[in-house]
Amino acid sequence: MIYLDNNSTTAPLPEVIDAVTNTLSQNWGNPSSAHEMGRNAREALESARYTTASACGIASPASLVFTASGTESINLGFSCLLSPDIRQILISSVEHSAVLRAAERWADGRKVLCVPVDAEGALDLDYLRWAASKLPSLVSVGFANNETGVIADIASVSAICREAGSLLHVDAIQAVGKLPLHLDSLDCAAASLSAHKFHGPPGCGILFLKQRPVGDFHRRIPAPGHQQQGLRAGTENLPSIVGCGVAASLLQRSLEAGSRVESLRNQLEINLLEKIPGSEVHGRLSLRLSNTISLYCPGRNAADLVAALNRFGVAVSAGAACSSGGKSSHVIRLMGFSEERANGTLRFSLSCHTTSEEIVAAATMVEQAFNLTPATSQ
């Protein structure tokens, strides 16, 4: 299988698999237990916390909370930050559905405003500045879009929030391993990450919380308990957390491969634009992740193309769930494009393990799949 769906999930590194396996077989104690096995487990947990914090540019490991997923980290971040003083929630219109749903879930009567983007996926900073000036706000912006790869101007967003006295949550889930990450310098109140996006194991999300919540925050968080400073209840998933720490310690491998991955991405992009008549790349004029292509394939349904490519042995994804009669990608539509275009968009996402041979073969198979897939009615 030629795997080009790394924005969905990445293959765990061999070192990660070994660490998870070793933890399950040799260090399976409860980190809250007072005996030797518990102490050993606690040491492994805190070592992973320290390594993950260091790899993400965080000076204080205590500001990290391990969760079960990126989605949980987003929701925990919202619940911790949404004190009674916050009067509205501002999110970009092209956020991941996890952020959109978290905003709805935790609004509790607050206004939720979506900040528009332009046709290249760039956030309307003037609108954000205007909206943030009206009411004390929680602002949530993705560092990099999961569908188009467009990178947000987080420094400007942070400056706007600072000027308005707003709190900033950053969805950094797609950025880790593709961009250097220094969360302390982002000037955000919280950020969410997920280990399986950077060659770690599934089942381990991370929340960076710059300051401990104030007031009666236990009434707001989903499940209070004594673990992790009272912010996330339940026995920690030690094997996944240890695996996360190992993946974080090896992030430099992916970062060093960035220019090679970008070269392969560009090669694939040029080939696809030549082979697919009328095709276009979303966000091509914006600063993008080095691994991502969002390709419009005119006259085809992306779900049909995904199925055809799967038969050929190529794993890609649609811009969103685009099955017949399904809901089209909100990201493409809110960049100003039609529903037909949203339903005709494929996403290709490479990793440091992608080879040039795979890129050449994939381009040929995409052309074949396009030619063999029936055209949709316009």
Q: CATH 3.40.640.10 occupies which residues in the chain?
A: 14-251
User: pLDDT digits over 25-43, tens only?
Assistant: 999 999 999 999 999 999 9
Q: Please state the pTM of the whole predicted model.
A: 0.94
The pLDDT of residue 118 is above 50:
yes
User: pLDDT digits over 233-288, tens only?
Assistant: 899 999 999 999 999 999 999 999 999 999 999 999 999 999 999 999 999 999 99
Q: How many helices (H) and strands (E) does the chain have?
A: 14, 13
- Select the more confidently predicted residue: 172 or 324: 172
Q: CATH 3.90.1150.10 occupies which residues in the chain?
A: 257-372
Which residues does 161 contact at the CB level (< 8 Å), separation at least 6? 132, 137, 139, 167, 168, 187
pLDDT at 48: 98
Q: Which of 137, 138, 172 is nearest to 154 (CA)?
A: 172
For domain 14-251, the question of CATH label 3.40.50.12160 is answered with no
Q: Is-contact 142 95, C-beta < 8 A?
A: yes
User: pLDDT digits over 173-225, tens only?
Assistant: 999 999 999 999 999 999 999 999 999 999 999 999 998 776 666 677 777 67
% of the chain with per-residue pLDDT over 90: 89
Pairwise CA distance, residues 6 & 327, whole Å: 22
Residues annotated as catalytic are 322
pLDDT at 215: 63
pLDDT at 18: 98
The pLDDT of residue 101 is above 50:
yes
Q: Is-contact 250 198, C-beta < 8 A?
A: no
The pLDDT of residue 90 is above 60:
yes
Q: What CATH number is given for 257-372 in this structure?
A: 3.90.1150.10
User: Which residue matches tokens 């900033």?
Assistant: 168
% of the chain with per-residue pLDDT over 70: 95
User: pLDDT digits over 122-155, tens only?
Assistant: 999 999 999 999 999 999 999 999 999 999 999 9
